[in-house]
């Protein structure tokens, strides 16, 4: 690190769990954030401020007025622009010393096959089961850790799936891709504004923990946040040996 970086990240360097070696890991890491909406708007800025050296931001959507209640990377001037271009502008103003790439489009198997070999960790900040299952399968295939978050109404959840850990489940171990889950969206059900900030910031924290390797990340555990009662619940999740994505046959 140069002198400017030593000063910028000095509060990290004071933490013995991070120190210089940990910060250098962050500076050399490549993180893929899929979704530049509510969750991504909280996760990506904290990753940027923390000094992740290379961030790729992926989203297919444009900024709308209804997004501004919770998607804090975007402003009134961003309405009509792509979320990734708006997000890149915001992130570049936070930290000009890191590389920010954008991919304007939906996550596809082919696209993830192209990106994941150079990625150290993925943050799933999408809002539907189809995308989550596709992202999970690609992360298992390429052996890339995945931080999965979701939020709707007053309820949020977060977990970490690490294919490199033989005891870690994957997303499909919990939510089978063979089941038909009803898709619901915040445009129909509503969402409490700070909830996405809480879960998205936690996703950033989990990613940093996994990249540096300190503490106990949410591998094999799922955390639930209830914003109505300000209550946190946690339950353990196990790998399914018959899972159609990460099971023995695969």
Write the CA distances from 56 to 29, 40, 151, integer angstroms: 11, 11, 22
What pLDDT is recorded for position 73? 97
The burial of 71, by beta-carbon neighbours within 10 Å (0-12 exposed, 13-18 middle, 19 or more buried), is given as buried
pLDDT at 186 exceeding the cut of 70: no
What pLDDT is recorded for position 177? 84
pLDDT at 188 exceeding the cut of 90: no
- pLDDT band of residue 184 (cuts 50, 70, 90) is low
Q: What is the enclosing helix (H) or strand (E) of 7?
A: helix 3-8
What pLDDT is recorded for position 179? 75
Q: How far is residue 58's CA from residue 79's CA, in Å, rounded to a whole number?
A: 18
pLDDT at 21 exceeding the cut of 80: yes
pLDDT in tens, 117-171: 999 999 999 999 999 999 999 999 999 999 999 999 999 999 999 999 999 999 9
Q: What is the mean pLDDT of residues 161-187?
A: 84
pLDDT at 181 exceeding the cut of 70: no
- pLDDT band of residue 243 (cuts 50, 70, 90) is very high
Domains and CATH numbers, the chain: 3-236 (3.40.50.720)
pLDDT in tens, 75-106: 999 999 999 999 999 999 999 999 999 999 99
pLDDT at 210 exceeding the cut of 80: yes
pTM: 0.95
């Amino acid at each position: 690190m140069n002198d400017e970086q030593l000063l910028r990240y000095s509060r990290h360097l004071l933490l013995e769990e991070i120190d210089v070696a940990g910060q250098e890991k962050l500076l050399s890491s490549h993180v893929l954030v899929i979704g530049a909406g509510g969750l991504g708007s909280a996760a990506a800025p904290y990753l940027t401020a923390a000094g992740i050296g290379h961030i790729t931001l992926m989203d297919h959507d444009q900024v709308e007025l209804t997004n501004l209640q919770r998607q804090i990377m975007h402003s009134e001037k961003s309405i009509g622009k792509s979320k990734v271009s708006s997000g890149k502008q915001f992130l570049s103003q936070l930290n000009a010393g890191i590389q920010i790439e954008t991919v304007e489009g939906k996550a596809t198997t082919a696209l993830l096959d192209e990106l994941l070999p150079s990625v150290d960790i993925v943050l799933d900040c999408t809002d539907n089961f189809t995308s989550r299952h596709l992202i999970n399968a690609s992360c298992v295939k390429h052996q890339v850790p995945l931080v999965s978050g979701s939020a709707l109404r007053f309820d949020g959840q977060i977990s970490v799936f690490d294919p490199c850990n033989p005891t870690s489940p994957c997303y499909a171990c919990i939510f089978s891709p063979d089941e038909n889950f009803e898709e619901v969206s915040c445009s129909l059900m509503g969402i409490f504004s700070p909830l996405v900030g809480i879960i998205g910031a936690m996703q950033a924290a989990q990613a940093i923990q996994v990249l540096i390797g300190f503490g106990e990340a949410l591998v094999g555990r799922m955390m639930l946040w209830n914003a109505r009662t300000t209550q946190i619940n946690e339950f353990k999740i196990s790998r399914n040996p018959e899972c159609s994505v990460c099971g023995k046959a695969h």
